[in-house]
Amino acid sequence: MRVDFRLIPTVMGVVVMTSLLVVVLAMASTPAIAAESASTLIEISAGKLGRVDVPVDIELPEVWKLAKRVSLVEVGSGKKVPCQVEAGSSPRVWWMLDELPAGGTRRYVLTADDKATGAASNRTPDELPAAVTATLGEQDLTLAVGARPVLKYQQAVMPTADATKPFYARSGFIHPVFDPLGRQLTEAMPPDHMHQHGIMFAWVNAQFEGRKVDFWNSHKAQGEVRHTRLGEVASGPVFASFTAQLEHVDNTAPGGPKVALNEVWEVRVFRRTDGFLFDWKSTLTCAGESPLRLLKNDYGGLCVRGRPEWLEPGQGEFLTSEGKTRVDGNHTRPRWCDLSGVVVKREDNTNDSTPTWGGITVFDNPANFRFPQPVRLHPTMPYFSVSPVVVGPFTIEPGKPYITRYRFFTHTGKPDVAAIDQLWEDYAHPVEVRVVEE
C-alpha cells in the first residue's frame, strides 16, 4: 500500500483536535451532570434551645450554583420542605424550621430536582404558598410576605416636607415598616426631627481629611447619605432580599462634594407571619485612601423612628433586654431594644375605633463591634439609636470594611419578653447545621 506522508500532519491534527474537542465538551458538561445528580444529606441540631419558626441556612458546594431547582425532604417523614438557594460565589440553601425541641436533631436530603415543588431559585413566587416577594416601584422597593407588606426601601429621593428646607430630602432608608396587621410603625421626616427617616444609618461626629462632617443632621449641610443603585433583588418561598449601594458624602470638601464612605446594604425578609422577621447588614468601606474618624458622641449609627402618635405621654414606650425603659435605659448596653406604642388599625384609609398596640424590636448581633452596643433612648420622642460611639472614638480605615448586623422583629400587642428572648437566642446562637454526606 502506498502512503502519502504529506497527509499525515493534517490527519494527526484532525485526530488531536477531535480528541481535544471531546475532552473540552466532557469537561464543560461535567458540572451540569453533577448538578443534576447532586444530593446532600444535612443534619441540624437544636442545641440547648427549643426552636420554633426560625430561618436555617448552610453553605453548599459550588456545583449547586448550576442546579435549576432543588428539593429538600425531611428524612423519616418524607415531608417536602420549601427551600431556597441564595445565589453567590458560595451558594447557600435556606429554609424555615417549624419546630425542634431542645437537644433534638433532624436530617434532610437536598437534591437537584427540576420537578421540585418545595423549592426553586427560579420558581416565581406566585407558584408557592406564603411566598416572600420583592416588588420594585418607581420610588421604592417593597418586600412582602404573601399579600402583607413588611417594609419599603426608599431608593428614590423623598422630597422634603418643607419646600424652604430642601436639605431634608433623602434616599437610602427603610420606611415604612409594618406590623403583621398592615399598620405602619415608622415615620419619616417628622416635624420635630425632619432629618430622621424610618430605619436609617448615619454618623454624627465624624472627621474626614481634617474636616468635621455630620452625616446625620441634614440641616447642617455638612454631609449626606444617598442611595446610588440597587444590586441583586430576589423573591422566593423562604425569603425576599435586596442589596443596595449607598454613599456617605462630605459636602464640605474644598473641591466640592466628596464621597468618604461607600456602603452596601443587605436586607432579607423571612417567611414568617405571626411577627415579621428581617435581617439587615451594612458594610462600610473607605471610598479612597483617607480614613474616617468617628468621635465619641451621644448617638449615631442605626436609627429607628416610630409613629408620631407615640410622642404623646403613655402612647409609646421603650423596653430593653435588661428590663430598662425610657426612664433608666439610655446609654445602657442591652442585647435587644423594643419601641412600641398605640396603633390605630387602618383599613381602606379609615381608622378602626379600637386602638391596639404594636412595635418593633432590634436585636444586636454578637459579632458587632463593641457588642453589646449602647442605645440612645430619647427622653421624649419615639426614636432610638444603637451606637458604638457612645463608648468612645474609633476609625474606619482603608482596606478594612466596617460590618454591622441587626435583626428586626415587628409585632402586634405589647412586647412579649419571653418570645423576644427566644428570638434573641435563635439569632445569637443559631441552629447547628452540618453536611453529613455528599
Q: Considering its fold, how many domains does the chain have in total?
A: 2
Which of 301, 330, 300, 303 has the alpha carbon at shortest distance from 318?
A: 330
CATH number reported for the structural domain that contains residue 319 in this entry: 2.70.98
Residue 49 belongs to what domain range?
Answer: 37-112
Q: Tell me if 76 is assigned to some domain.
A: yes
For residue 37, name the pLDDT band (cuts at 50, 70, 90): low
342 and 224 within one domain: yes
**Residue at a domain's end among 89, 112, 135:** 112
Q: Tell me if 414 is assigned to some domain.
A: yes
Has residue 9 got a pLDDT over 70?
no
For residue 325, name the pLDDT band (cuts at 50, 70, 90): very high
Contact indicator for 272, 240 with CB cutoff of 8 Å: no
Has residue 115 got a pLDDT over 80?
no
216 and 132 within one domain: yes
Has residue 351 got a pLDDT over 80?
no
Q: Tell me if 364 is assigned to some domain.
A: yes
303 and 239 within one domain: yes
**Residue at a domain's end among 112, 143, 162:** 112
146 and 88 within one domain: no
Q: Sheet harboring 51-59: ordered strands across? A: 51-59, 92-100, 83-86
Q: Which three cell numbers stand for residue 224?
A: 449626606
CA–CA distance, 17 with 295 (Å, rounded to integer): 66
Mean pLDDT to the nearest integer, 353-382 = 94
Which of 227, 229, 228, 217 has the alpha carbon at shortest distance from 167?
A: 217
Grid cell 465538551 is found at 25
Which of 251, 139, 228 has the alpha carbon at shortest distance from 188?
A: 139
Average pLDDT, the chain: 87
Contact indicator for 175, 156 with CB cutoff of 8 Å: no
327 and 211 within one domain: yes
User: What local confidence, expressed as pLDDT, does residue 122 receive?
Assistant: 40
**Residue at a domain's end among 112, 145, 170:** 112
Radius of gyration of the chain measured on its C-alpha atoms: 26
Question: Using one digit for the tens of pLDDT, what is the confidence trace for 171-197?
Answer: 999 999 999 999 999 999 998 898 999
143 and 108 within one domain: no
Mean pLDDT to the nearest integer, 18-24 = 36
Q: Tell me if 403 is assigned to some domain.
A: yes
For residue 18, name the pLDDT band (cuts at 50, 70, 90): very low
CA–CA distance, 43 with 139 (Å, rounded to integer): 43
Q: Tell me if 18 is assigned to some domain.
A: no
Question: Using one digit for the tens of pLDDT, what is the confidence trace for 52-79?
Answer: 999 999 998 777 777 768 899 999 999 9
Q: Tell me if 71 is assigned to some domain.
A: yes
Count of CA atoms in the C-beta half-sphere (13 A) of 281: 12
Question: Using one digit for the tens of pLDDT, what is the confidence trace for 328-343?
Answer: 999 999 999 999 999 9
135 and 91 within one domain: no
Q: Which three cell numbers stand for residue 8?
A: 499525515
419 CA to centre of own chain: 21
CATH number reported for the structural domain that contains residue 83 in this entry: 2.60.40.1180
229 and 104 within one domain: no
Contact indicator for 324, 288 with CB cutoff of 8 Å: no
Mean pLDDT to the nearest integer, 304-311 = 94
User: What local confidence, expressed as pLDDT, does residue 16 receive?
Assistant: 36
231 and 90 within one domain: no
Q: Sheet harboring 402-412: ordered strands across? A: 223-234, 239-250, 258-270, 276-286, 402-412, 356-364, 336-343, 316-320
219 and 256 within one domain: yes
Cis ω for the linkage preceding 379 (within 30 of 0): no
Has residue 347 got a pLDDT over 50?
no
Q: Tell me if 264 is assigned to some domain.
A: yes
Mean pLDDT to the nearest integer, 206-210 = 98
User: What local confidence, expressed as pLDDT, does residue 1 receive?
Assistant: 40
Residue 216 CB: number of other CB atoms within 10 A?
25
133 and 103 within one domain: no
Question: Using one digit for the tens of pLDDT, what is the confidence trace for 77-109?
Answer: 999 999 998 877 788 999 999 999 999 999 999
171 and 42 within one domain: no
Q: Tell me if 16 is assigned to some domain.
A: no
